[in-house]
Chains A and B, each alone.
Chain A
Amino acid sequence: MQGGQERATGEKMVLNFGPQHPATHGTLRIVLELDGESVLKATPHAGYLHTGFEKLGEHLDYNQYIVVTDRMNYLSPLSNNFGYVLAVEQLLGIEVTKRCQYIRILMAELSRLADHLLWLGTAALDLGAFSVFLYSFREREKLYSIFEKTTGARLTTSYTRVGGVFRDLYDGCEEDVRQFVTNFPKALKETHTLLTKNRIWMDRTKGVGAISADAAIDYGLTGPCLRATGIAHDIRKAEPYSSYDEVTFEVPVGTNGDAYDRYLVRMEEMIQCCGIVTQVLDNMPDGSVNLEDNKITMPDKSDAYGHIEGLIHHFKIVMDGHGVQPPMGEHYCATESPNGELGFYIVSDGSGTAYRIRIRPPSFLHFQALPHMLEGGMVSDTVAVLGSLNVIAGELDR
């Protein structure tokens, strides 16, 4: 970074980074104005993956839309499922069963682990640390096996339902998860030994892409990127939703707000996730996973096939204009997704379809702040900074 300005010769070069650059992890683009190797100006462009999710929300009913939420942050679809149904349930004014809340937290924390692991692997890969990628994907694979057994899918999980979840945990899930969280800290230690005190890793990330706490708030950064600047804000603590007030965990913070601190914050968050998962498993309540309200959740299949009431309830839930219908009104519900504040602002006109769904994506604001972190730095830092922000294009463009 040092001496970038002195070497300036006044000759500018424009470098187009993306939209198909392997380090962009999706289709996003940055136009860099360079003088030699120092970045004079960076202009991020979004929109290459715009899919019209918000428009779709005005045409799908509340349960159908869960499928769309999978595709937003495709690294942690379970967190999106969770955030969305929570918004709908708060709009409806209902609270799901305790067991369901615990299952949702379990899955959300596991998906946070999976998200951070993928981030770790790819961010390190971008900077040339190939073995870290293999180690983190090995662990992530175990998580995806658990997701697959629980939800029936690895990526497009669509696990939650308004008023419950798609199905209860499978037999042996607890053992699988316990085994994972017991072995995981050891596995993470391997990565620590590879990166944390590694000379190259530190040179490439320390002091790179730094942002102050005030600027981070000004730009609307949330999640690990905000906490790396030293602000201990976590929505799970500040506004505990679901049953997050019943688990204890620490909120790791950084000091400099640079790429290295973002790395350390995420690494520590993974350890905290394991703690939450263990507590959730220890205190997992028994009982039903779905709300016993036939106006909101599907009846049992045996009921739908065996009793006329069950059949009617089943029919009414899936019929257009008879299913879940929140009262007229609006609600904004924010959850702590792996990347930061994921908010759903839903306006209901009392029908079975939302009048307006707005998704507040963390990546959109993180990507916006990129020039602030890049300008004045070196072109090679672009990859390090972009990697440390974990911008997900599906969530960025929606």
Chain B
Amino acid sequence: MSEENQVEEQPKPLILEKLEANHADALLAQDESRGTVVVTVRKEQSYAILEYLKTDPELAYTFLVDVTAVDNSQMESELMQFDYARFMVVYQLYSYQGQCRARVKVPVHENDLNIPSVTTLWQGANWLERETYDMFGINFEGHPDLRRILMPDDFEGHPLRKDYPLRGRGERERFNFDKQNM
């Protein structure tokens, strides 16, 4: 309990202060969990915010640690909070300068799976976005090479979606070795 009180007494992290000052309209939610600032932002401004976090000299979140997504279709509380957006694209950032982490989350609706690609900001985003596309079907607009990466090119469906069964949809049984060898 005492630790929780200490966290509340600390001043607001710089990143939240600056985001509120410059991009207040884009913020949907903010939180701080175990030393990491978590902000949820509107999809329309997600690129601008990530660019700001990377290029601002005081924040300098120059290292894109990870890009992934979560299918919230079986998580009622998350769905309710963000206007029934099925997917949440998650960016993990790290600042070598401030030695701190931040997490940016972007809700994406199922009827509009497009989201701006950040490959122009980080080269490393290329494969991370491809994997997210492969696993969830999120369409990263402006990505130079949006192909499947882990699954075969002719695979149908997106395996990490909650409606995709653990044991597949019969791909293994239907796999045709003769056809594949052609």
Contacts and interface: CB of A to CB of B under 8 A. Distances in A.
Contacts, number: 92
Contact of B36 (A46, A328, A332): A332
Interface string B129-149: 001000100000000000011
A341 interface: yes
A89 to B, nearest CB: 11
Question: Range of interface residues on chain B?
Answer: 35 or more
A322 B34 CA distance: 26
A238 interface: yes
A10 to B, nearest CB: 25
Interface residues of A, number: 41
A177 interface: no
Given A218-B124, A345-B66, A358-B66, A332 B103 contact: yes
Contacts of A55: 159-160, 164, 166
A90 B34 CA distance: 8
Contact of A343 (B65, B99, B151): B65
A321 to B, nearest CB: 16
Contact of A220 (B77, B124, B149): B124
Contacts of A330: 33, 38
A217 B92 contact: no
Contact of B159 (A52, A355, A368): A52
Contact of B166 (A59, A215, A334, A349): A59
A90 to B, nearest CB: 6
Interface in A343-398: 343, 345, 347, 349, 355-356, 358, 360, 364-365, 368-369, 372, 397-398
B113 interface: no
A329 interface: yes
A331 interface: yes
Contacts of A368: 124, 126-127
A356 B70 contact: yes
Interface string A317-343: 000000000001111101000000101
B168 to A, nearest CB: 9
B114 interface: no
A47 B70 contact: no
7 contacts: A46-B127, A220-B128, A332-B101, A345-B68, A349-B75, A356-B71, A368-B124
Given A220-B122, A345-B68, 10 more contacts: A90-B34, A220-B124, A238-B99, A239-B99, A331-B34, A345-B66, A355-B70, A360-B65, A360-B66, A368-B127
